[in-house]
Structure 1
Amino acid sequence: MPILIIEDEPKTGDYLLRGLSESGFAVRLARTGRDGLALAREGETELIVLDIMLPGMDGWQVLEALRADPATEQIPVLFLTARDEVQDRVRGLELGADDYLVKPFAFVELVARIRTLLRRGPVREEEVLRIGDMEIDVLRRRVRRSGAAVTLTSQEFALLHLLARRQGQVLSRSLIASQVWDMNFDSDTNVIDAAVRRLRRKIDDPFQQKLIHTRRGMGYVCELEASAP
């Protein structure tokens, strides 16, 4: 089944159509929100790349219609838009978007995000993650431990969110770098280690139960560990 692009800007739409086709995807292109919604409802779409600023029916309205229709509610949607305000990202996630990428963008990153969504499938991400006494409100980007608010920078939140949603999995430094910073770091860099230390000072140091653990030579994992007898 093909990827559906809903993009009204001619150069951008043609660029995406050509680039994704050359990357091995089957692709269809709609120039308006209404045309895109009609194509999605035909049942031949695996993923949608959706602009927000569309004529007539904008991307917000398209997404709401997709999520309200049992035939399309599970199709992964990636917003690709010039709107880069935090409130726009939050609104997109609250309406049911699976990812949000801001223009201008690196094409290789777009392809990587598409492949990640296709591997993940239609499973919706939880809005609240809980590990022990820690609660992460993903949409509002708020963290609490034992009922106390924990203030994090945007980068610290992204790091914690990655560790928490992959709870119990040991994540390598290179994977963390690519997911949180969208960059590749040399294996001997201490950037990741320093970032984890800063996060631990806020998440773990004030509390008896530690949640972020080092696996020497492998990476980091977020999980509850059994207490020593």
Structure 2
Amino acid sequence: MDIMNLLEKVKDGNLAVEDAAEQLKSFPFDDLGYAVIDHHRQLRNGCPEVIYCAGKTVEQVEGIVKNMLEIGHSNVLATRANDTIAEAILRMCPDAEWNSLARTVVIKRNPVAITGGGKILVITGGTSDIPVADEALVTAEFLGNEVERMFDVGVAGIHRLLSKLDIIRSANVIIVIAGMEGALASVVGGLTDKPVVAVPTSVGYGASFGGVSALLSMLNSCANGVSVVNIDNGFGAAYIANSMNKLNLSK
């Protein structure tokens, strides 16, 4: 159970102190043997723990989801899920949202309130970057942000990007996702006074080295205000953008 909701119920007389104490026994974490689930992360960091599915068995993911729901996590996000894991979660929660492109599963027991200070804009260089962009979009929305997308506006046809300057300038934080040489982050960084979170992707021909060339280009950006996350890390970019957005940097 969310600790703030628990305390509100005690305050309003809807939950006995003894019952609340019983529920708090599992806080701040539960040790399942193969996973130690951090139930206080929302309280400390403002964002709940997210299930990273890659490398986990179906049974492990099922156990983590079951524990989080029993404790009272109203909404749960699982990332890097494959079809088998997604199907298992959907059997547990038929109303869960499976995005096969983003490889995310979202369980929503309560509507997600928009709590960010402005809009997060997600831009991709090409269509091949959309899977990483979708992971960022799902994550940013899960964390309570207004999100807009702008896909396939890379520097090979830079007029596509320049035709949407009004949208770029209306954003509070911008996530730029690009492979190949990764130049798009520098271009966007030179067009806005808002922070840019750059995500290199593993899209590109042989000498792109699985995204390393884009990563190095973004790290060496000559545009100010560009920060960089690891290759294909849409989740990490959205998490950082969420933190920036909730600082209300536009004011």
If each structure's helix is expressed as a fraction of its own residues, which one has the higher value? 2
* Interval of TM-score (by shorter of Structure 1 and Structure 2): 0.3 to 0.5
The higher-RCO structure (CA 8 Å, 6+ apart) is 2
Structure 2 length normalisation: TM-score? Answer: 0.37
